[in-house]
Structure 1
């Protein structure tokens, strides 16, 4: 086991990335995680937890972690890990992450990420905007220190940084697609198969992966270099034919983590939109709108529900499915909107199984993001459905 994967917030896109890396590396890695709960405490204390729980192994060569972890603290507490090639991955950054009020921004979280960058050997961001917004905010952020401020941190960190888009596998979901979408997609694929669009997808990401793992001799010996070329920005598992409904999905969809720190299993929700909508002609039924995001303020739920309630006031017909994961603190707008929307609601709540989630997206007419801050929207990254993004303050393209 030469690659050590550490994830202090093992859920959502963080989990998706680590699971994919673990699947690709197979026997050559070990994964250590904490459940995706109370990220504030994970950012504060995860290093101390992993100091005690990460097994000592003289064969480790690479440490790969997300920026939730305070890498500086961990490597100080575990000098053996400090000797490894340390790769830090930024899903988001705390220097520009939206808060409900400016005074609520805790200096410690951004400071932790800056310290982690200083001790990392390679710092990877999932988009150019993520990288630049972090690096160019360091100077202003450090001015919050009342005196004796450190200098030139951006210049020290920038040479280590690069963009590596989030690796996404697109499974064949044709068995979930309604007939009118299958017919349309057949036409689209018929055109694109004659071109080179799908042949070049992910090439830049592949080259960056190779370069990332060739920056030290220890990386070349680790085995990670041979695996990385398969981690494309958009990795298609064969272009599906709408004439043949393939029942194959990722093997990882049905698998459950055996990590002892994993969250307890969530209650399964039965979901079959095909049955719900079976009596409707697609040209006559109401527009089906899907919102598939975390139930938190940075995803802009107020903007989304404000629009839906205006449609409701005007007696315009629509259906809505509100997906995404909820945590201990749920904005009040969700319970208020569910009651106000009434019979317009088709589904309300998290879908733990990927096939149900894919079905919800495939049966949607539009999938909407109202996020105030989105570096790489994994929840809606797919060529299968339409995405509409409402203009919000600080909303940015991935």
Structure 2
């Protein structure tokens, strides 16, 4: 075969050039789920990532890393990244990428992200996100709560600058770029692992979306699942103290404590021996199939978060049939009806106490949360439009 012919054949077999560049400095959790969805289901995407560890260093240095890691490609038309990346720095280091349509996605925002003490808040992280918004062409938030809290905090945040504050109204520059596009759940993966009798109605082709409910099994104890990161912003102290109070009252319940662990959390080590008779699972499950199996077996999914901008774990658990209990704050009123919200720790304890004594009421309940509106099937078109040049 001649060299010219071989080259022509290779050219015909080559994939189309990538048009969308996906960058994720913190490739884990919901950040990983979103990037994997976009890579797998949208055409002409290429992704560059960094492992999900040392978050603070990713926020500080990933722009330099990606500026040297991503080779030039004249086919790129769109750049998509999470707000962990300092997009402003990347655009300065790579003028070829600065010319693309730049989409900045906020899983969280650092202007209102909870810290143990306000004096511990590092101004630079929020400042970097503001700069990234200024150079982005589209700024996308996973919830209205995320967007509204960011925009309403922008001016007070900048007022912390002791002098030489920006003379121009930055809110007026950023707000027109902003939109809400909910995080897309890949519910087809969840449905694939659910038994037919547990599938939501939509999976059978029905018009009404009704998440599965638990069978009425009064003889078994209430199974509570807490599927969150073991970090202070999820308020493990409230969760563990509430479980210990249920135990001290002699109430029967079973407990699955899941979620990722990035640092040592002494509260969990201290409380596990005290809760041991109630524990079914303790620690993150590496296998997603096994994780979903635990959600299917659980009766109630609990959040005690002091920070939540969307809540993938809560919605996946609800889709598997768990009754949700969430704080009456943050993003939760945007997603869950009022009957699933509690306002105080005392209200939370009272409701759990009632559910432990009468678990049949939880299992017989028909959930009033439409998880389908957050599904990839529903949101795919909006993401395709967002990532069009």
In the TM superposition, what is the alpha-carbon distance from 1:171 to its structure 2 partner? 2.8
Aligned to 1:25: 42
Deviation per CA, 1:61-84: give whole Å up to 9, x if none. Answer: 100000000000011011111011
Summarize the Cα distance change of 1:193–1:14 in structure 2 as closer, same or farther, 3 Å threshold: same
Aligned to 2:257: 322
Aligned to 2:320: 384
**Matching of residues 301-320 of structure 1 within 5 Å:** 301-320=236-255
In the TM superposition, what is the alpha-carbon distance from 1:337 to its structure 2 partner? 1.4
**Matching of residues 225-374 of structure 1 within 5 Å:** 282-327=217-262, 329-374=263-308
In the TM superposition, what is the alpha-carbon distance from 1:129 to its structure 2 partner? 1.0
Contact 2:292/2:320, CA 8 A, preserved across alignment: no
Aligned to 1:189: 201
Of 88, 105, 108, 2:104 maps to: 88
Task: Give the whole-Å Cα distance in 2 for the aligned partners of 1:123 and 1:79.
Answer: 20
Task: Give the whole-Å Cα distance in 2 for the aligned partners of 1:177 and 1:52.
Answer: 44
The 10-residue stretch of structure 1 (317-326 or 165-174) with the greater mean CA deviation from structure 2: 165-174
Task: Give the whole-Å Cα distance in 1 for the aligned partners of 2:285 and 2:102.
Answer: 35
Aligned to 1:139: 155
In the TM superposition, what is the alpha-carbon distance from 1:139 to its structure 2 partner? 0.3
Contact 2:67/2:90, CA 8 A, preserved across alignment: yes
In the TM superposition, what is the alpha-carbon distance from 1:384 to its structure 2 partner? 2.8
Contact 2:303/2:326, CA 8 A, preserved across alignment: yes
Summarize the Cα distance change of 1:29–1:174 in structure 2 as closer, same or farther, 3 Å threshold: closer
Task: Give the whole-Å Cα distance in 2 for the aligned partners of 1:384 and 1:241.
Answer: 7
In the TM superposition, what is the alpha-carbon distance from 1:315 to its structure 2 partner? 1.4
In the TM superposition, what is the alpha-carbon distance from 1:343 to its structure 2 partner? 1.7
Deviation per CA, 1:249-276: give whole Å up to 9, x if none. Answer: xxxxxxxxxxxxxxxxxxxxxxxxxxxx
Of 77, 86, 95, 2:93 maps to: 77
In the TM superposition, what is the alpha-carbon distance from 1:51 to its structure 2 partner? 1.1
Contact 1:177/1:363, CA 8 A, preserved across alignment: no
Task: Give the whole-Å Cα distance in 1 for the aligned partners of 2:142 and 2:264.
Answer: 27
Task: Give the whole-Å Cα distance in 1 for the aligned partners of 2:28 and 2:107.
Answer: 12
Number of positions where the alignment pairs a residue of Structure 1 with one of Structure 2:
312
Q: 3-state DSSP class of the match of 2:225?
A: strand
In the TM superposition, what is the alpha-carbon distance from 1:172 to its structure 2 partner? 6.1
Q: 3-state DSSP class of the match of 2:132?
A: helix
**Matching of residues 44-193 of structure 1 within 5 Å:** 44-150=60-166, 151-171=168-188, 173=190, 182=197, 189=201
Q: 3-state DSSP class of the match of 1:9?
A: strand
Deviation per CA, 1:179-220: give whole Å up to 9, x if none. Answer: 9xx4xx57x739x9654x45xxxxxxxxxxxxxxxxxxxxxx
In the TM superposition, what is the alpha-carbon distance from 1:241 to its structure 2 partner? 11
Q: TM-score by structure 1 length?
A: 0.73
The 10-residue stretch of structure 1 (283-292 or 11-20) with the greater mean CA deviation from structure 2: 283-292
Q: 3-state DSSP class of the match of 1:149?
A: coil
In the TM superposition, what is the alpha-carbon distance from 1:395 to its structure 2 partner? 6.8
Contact 2:141/2:181, CA 8 A, preserved across alignment: yes
In the TM superposition, what is the alpha-carbon distance from 1:169 to its structure 2 partner? 1.5
Summarize the Cα distance change of 1:41–1:241 in structure 2 as closer, same or farther, 3 Å threshold: closer
Q: CA RMSD in A?
A: 2.6
Q: 3-state DSSP class of the match of 2:298?
A: coil
Contact 1:370/1:392, CA 8 A, preserved across alignment: no
In the TM superposition, what is the alpha-carbon distance from 1:389 to its structure 2 partner? 3.0
Task: Give the whole-Å Cα distance in 1 for the aligned partners of 2:143 and 2:76.
Answer: 28
